[in-house]
Chain A
Amino acid sequence: EIVLTQSPGTLSLSPGERATLSCRASQSISRTYLAWYQQKPGQAPRLLIYGASNRATGIPDRFSGSGSGTDFTLTISGLEPEDFAVYYCQQFGSSPQYTFGQGTKVEIK
C-alpha cells in the first residue's frame, strides 16, 4: 500500500498570502493518479485537482497542482477567506486501492 505523507501539518497564513502544501508518496506514482481535496468543518471533501495539475469544474485558478514521482504540491496563489480549511491528497493504485494523506490544515494567522 502506498502511504501519502503531507506537510506541514498546519499552515498559519494571512489572507492574500501564498500557500504551498506538500504531499510525498512512499513510492513513485503516476501523475494521473494524484488528486487534491478541500474539506471544511462539517462538510464532505470537495475535489480540487485531479491528474496532479487539472482543476476540477468550478475550481478557481488560484488553486494549482504540480509535481511528479513521489513529490506533489498544491499551491493557493492568494488565500481568500473561504480557503481556510483542511486539504488532503489522494492517490489511486493497483489492487485497486485509494489512499489519502493525513491532511494539512490551513488556518488564519
Chain B
Amino acid sequence: QVQLRELGPRLVKPSQTLSLTCTVSGDSLSSGGYYWSWIRQPAGERLEWIGRFFSSSGNTDYNPSLKSRVTISVDTAKNQFSLEFNSVTAADTAVYYCAKGAGSVAFGVWGQGSMVTVSS
C-alpha cells in the first residue's frame, strides 16, 4: 500500500524559502510511469495544484501562476521528492499535500498534509 508523508518546517519567515519533502513508502519513484504532485490548501479556500514530476522521464510541470517561485526535485535514492517555494508571503500559508497521480488526470493517493505558516 502506497503511503506518502510530508515533512518540513511549520513556520517560515516572509521572503524566505519554504522547503518540504515527501517520503514515499510502498512504491518506488524510480520505476513505473506515474505523476507525483504538490498541492496546497489555504484555510477555508479551494485546493491549488502547485506542480508535478513524471517518474519515467523526470520532467516537471508547474502551475503557471506559481512557476516563477517553485522547484520540484526528486531523490530516487531516498525515495523522496521535494518542493522549494521561494520569496514566500503570508498568502502562502496553507496545508501542503503531496500526492500520487491516478493516471495523469487525478490524484489517487495523498499524504496527510503539512501545515505551513508564513509569519515573522
Contacts and interface: CB of A to CB of B under 8 A. Distances in A.
A90 B97 contact: no
Given A88-B47, A96-B61, A97-B63, A46 B105 contact: no
12 contacts: A44-B97, A45-B107, A50-B103, A56-B102, A90-B47, A90-B107, A96-B52, A96-B104, A98-B37, A99-B49, A100-B47, A100-B49
Nearest to B95: A44
B48 A46 contact: no
Interface of A: 1, 32-33, 35, 37, 43-47, 50-51, 56, 88, 90, 92, 95-103
Contacts of A47: 102, 106-108
Given A97-B63, A103-B46, A44 B111 contact: yes
Contacts of B37: 98
Interface in B76-120: 97, 99, 102-108, 110-113
B46 A50 contact: no
Nearest to A90: B106
A35 B103 CA distance: 12
Nearest to B99: A44
Contacts of A92: 104-106
